[in-house]
Structure 1
Amino acid sequence: MKKLLFGLLIACFQYVKCDDPNIPIVITTWNFLNSTTKAWEVLNAGGSALDAVEQGASVCEEQQCDGTVGYGGSPDENGETTLDALIMDGKTMNVGAVGALRQVKNAISVARHILEHSYHSFLVGELATQFAEEMGFPIESLTTPKSKNLWKKWHNEDNCQPNFWMKVTPDPKKYCGPYSKSEKGYHQASTSDVKVDRYNHDTIGMVAIDKNGDVGAGTSTNGAKFKIPGRIGDSPIPGAGAYADNAVGGASATGDGDVMLRFLPSFLAVEEMRRGASPTAAAETAVARIAEHYPDFMGAVVALAKDGRYGAACHGIHQFPFVVHDLTQDKSRTEHVLCS
């Protein structure tokens, strides 16, 4: 115990944050330990919050976390994997985001380049790929044998589900797309239940505070399985997937992105903390706002105050895991919160 306290005193002196013993700190959605550990290594070495978020999320992109982050996961109706990512600087309130990125694996770093090497905030699709290539990113296929077989299984079954079309014909329960068996042209399908869970949840979200008290937040995802090509969920939308403000803290969301982006839950959580709410209460308010309108949605929000306090809230599953690393612990720790 004496050794731990002595270490904390040294850390306080080193980081000039004796009133905030939990600074620096990083919090990550889901049980993404390796990403959190990498982010902490950056912070503990004196790196910036933006560096921590970028490098931490990059680990998940490389390791294809849960099949929902990075290449080789969540093929769309055409069998292609595309990527979305966001990074936000709470010091400058600047944002870099990319959506429907094709043929570039490191989406969070492309987003960082948009933030730092353009006056824009958001680039999408093939022209985002062109920007990435001009910035030196290699162009390579995001399809793997696993994602190709996943798409083939879905595509060749009599009942292609999940499917995100609604109020159109023919009925996808009778035809298997993207082209129907009896119609020429593009297959349009009706509404069906789409399971959004741990393995179809869209996002790694991360919030970090560095030794200077600067806040960074970010996300990376390959989206929902078998989505309509061109779909972008909540992950790259500022205030939806993530939000950061040095004056308050940051937040990140994960789950049913098509629903959650309508409520900007990360922005709402930060604003609730600005009003004096604890991080847990702020996350609960953000989740409850969505559930009021969509009681069956699945999602979660993590919130991190500028003083290092943190919390989370969730809905639609039994419990939600998230990972934290700060000065009080030797390794990244998974915590759980029960969901409403």
Structure 2
Amino acid sequence: MNGFVVASRNGELGIGAAIEVLRRGGSALDAVEAGTRLVEASEADTSVGRGGLPNVLGEVELDASIMDGSTRAAGAVGAVRDYQHAITLARRVMEDLPHVTLAGPGAERFAAALGMDRTTLLTPASRELWRTHMVERLGGDAEAVRSLLALPDRADDEPAAVAGHVRRMLDPNRNTGTVNFIARDQDGHIASAVSTSGWEWKHPGRLGDTPLIGAGNYADDRYGAATCTGHGEVTTRCGTARSVVLYLKLGMSLVDSLTEAALDTETLDDPQSGGIEILAVDRDGGYAAVITGADRAEQDATFVHQSTDMAEFAVLPRRLISAEAPPKPR
């Protein structure tokens, strides 16, 4: 059985490393972690790891989760500062603790106890993007700008001071980024991994769907796996990743399972429901990906796939799913 990896488009940075793990006989779990780590380390991607876009205070907070489809064991971390490889920390939660999820200072305490390297996640480039966006969104409100510039040094003393700025800073029309990996190894086992710096300019401590098992990530060898990108508030409310796998369990095809889960997100009365991306595989080795929103063109969203017998990865289009524009007949 040939192993394979599928990933969100930004996963092309790490898909080669993931495939090499499988070629050496490694597990799907090792493969998705290896691929994700490379994206987390790249400053070129401002939605994941080091160089990720920060929260409203200019602080980068990372979320990640990993799931082993052979056992349905899972680990997740949220709102982690100062540790670049959130995916590895999530795996250690899964393997070393009787918990599934750690967040904030508790997750950072665990990382320190493991001896993980602390690092500055906010790069000069991402800090400049934060400053520029802040000035653009807050406009002539000089006092608000000065307040946010000062708050990173005194946020603990003024815990409510940023709440009024969050809605002004957030851009509800901007689709957020995340990296997704799903792998199947030579033994037929499936694993999935998701990592992100979350919705840029968010309130400190905000968690999206990435660290919530069943919302942004779910894997089960018996049926398949699914991962999500987009506004996590939407997929959290719909339990999107688990829904895809549940539809597979009920006997629906992979494309129909993705379509049903995607359309469910569009039933929410929420301006953020467009642009949800779902990546999935089934137990037979099928793979597919979709994006929601009638205003999205299929060529605007792609994903990558590579099997162990392929020299290079392939870039494939996502299907467009919309209540206003039904999917094309298969």
- State the TM-score, normalized to the length of structure 1: 0.83
Q: Which residue does 1:53 correspond to in 2?
A: 32
CA contact 1:28–1:204 (8 Å) conserved in 2: yes
Deviation at 1:329, TM superposition (A): 2.6
Aligned to 2:73: 94
Is the contact between residue 156 and residue 176 of structure 1 (CA under 8 Å) also seen in structure 2? Answer: no
Q: Percent identity?
A: 33
Q: CA separation of 1:186/1:54 partners in 2, compared to 1, >3 Å: closer, same or farther?
A: same
CA distance in 2, matches of 1:80, 1:311: 35
Which residue is equivalent to 2:314? Answer: 333
Greater shift in the superposed pair: 56-65 or 46-55: 56-65
Question: Are the structure 2 counterparts of residues 138 and 278 from structure 1 closer, same or farther at C-alpha, using a change threshold of 3 Å?
Answer: same
Superposition map of 1:189-338 within 5 A: 189=165, 191=167, 194-195=171-172, 197=174, 200-294=175-269, 296=271, 297=273, 298-316=275-293, 317-319=296-298, 320-327=301-308, 329-338=310-319
Q: CA deviation at 1:321?
A: 0.7
Counting only pairs closer than 5 Å after superposition, residues 74-113 of structure 1 correspond to structure 2 as: 74-113=53-92
Q: Which moved further from structure 2: 216-225 or 146-155?
A: 146-155
Cα distance change, pair 63–156 in 1 and its aligned pair in 2 (3 A)? same
One-letter identity of the residue aligned with 1:155? M
Post-superposition shift, 1:196?
5.0
Assess, with a 3 A threshold, how the Cα gap between structure 1 residues 247 and 173 changes in structure 2: closer, same or farther: farther
* Rounded Cα–Cα distance in structure 2 between residues aligned with 1:94 and 1:116: 8
1:176 alignment counterpart: 144
Q: Give the gaps of 5 or more residues in structure 2.
A: 150-157, 323-330
| 222 and 335 in structure 1: CA distance in 2 versus 1, 3 angstrom threshold | same
80-89 vs 309-318, which moves further: 309-318
Taking a change above 3 Å as real, the CA distance of residues 174 and 325 of structure 1, as seen in their structure-2 partners, is same
The residue identity in structure 2 corresponding to 1:45 is R
Whether contact under 8 Å (1:155, 1:176) holds in the other structure is no
Amino acid at match of 1:179: S
Distance 1:318 1:333, change over 3 A: same
Distance 1:331 1:180 in 2: 45
Whole-angstrom distance in 1 between the partners of 2:44 and 2:98: 31
Q: Which amino acid aligns with 1:85?
A: A
Return the offset for 1:174: 9.3
Letter in 2 for 1:329: M
User: For the aligned residues, what is the CA RMSD?
Assistant: 2.4
Q: Which deviates more, 134-143 or 226-235?
A: 134-143
- Report the equivalent of 1:164: none
- Aligned residue among 130, 138, 159 for 1:160: 138
* Runs (4+) off by over 6 Å: 172-175
8 Å CA contact retained: 1:39, 1:55: yes
What secondary structure, in the 3-state scheme, does the structure 1 residue paired with 2:144 have? Answer: coil
Distance in 2, Cα, partners of 1:177 & 1:196:
22
How far the C-alpha of 1:323 sits from its partner, in A, is 0.7
Residues 337, 294 of structure 1: alpha-carbon distance in 2 compared, 3 angstrom cutoff = farther
Q: How far is 1:287 from its partner?
A: 0.8
Give the Cα–Cα distance (whole angstroms) in 2 for the partners of residues 64 and 280 of structure 1: 34
Equivalent pair of 1:196/1:255 in contact (CA under 8 Å): no
Q: Is the 8 A contact 2:11 2:35 kept in 1?
A: no
User: Aligned with 2:235: secondary structure?
Assistant: helix
Q: Output one character per residue of 1:28-51: Cα deviation in whole Å (capped at 9) or x when no partner.
A: 112431212211111121110110
CA distance in 2, matches of 1:113, 1:292: 37
> By how many angstroms is 1:94 displaced?
0.9
After superposition, the C-alpha distances for 1:95-146 in whole angstroms (9 at most, x for unaligned) are 1100000110111001111111111111111221110111110112211111
**Which structure has the greater CA radius of gyration?**
1
Structure 1 unpaired stretches of 5+:
1-16, 18-22, 162-171
The one-character-per-residue Cα deviations of 1:277-315 (angstroms, maximum 9, x if unpaired) are: 222221111110001224742211111011111111111
Superposed CA deviations along residues 19-71 of structure 1, whole A, max 9, x for unmatched, are: xxxx4111111243121221111112111011001000001001135310111
Q: CA deviation at 1:156?
A: 3.4
- From the superposition, tell whether residues 294 and 81 of structure 1 become closer, same or farther in structure 2 (CA, over 3 Å): same
Letter in 1 for 2:131: K
For 1:295 and 1:338, locate their aligned partners in 2 and report how far apart those are by CA, in whole Å. 22
Q: State yes or no: 1:142 paired with 2:121.
A: yes
Q: Secondary structure at the match of 1:131?
A: helix
AA at the equivalent of 2:138: C
Q: Find 2:15's aligned residue among 36, 49, 59.
A: 36
Counterpart residue number, 1:4: none
User: Cα distance, 1:178 vs. partner?
Assistant: 7.8
State the distance in 2 between where 1:143 and 1:47 align.
Answer: 33
Q: Secondary structure at 2:267's aligned position in 1? A: helix
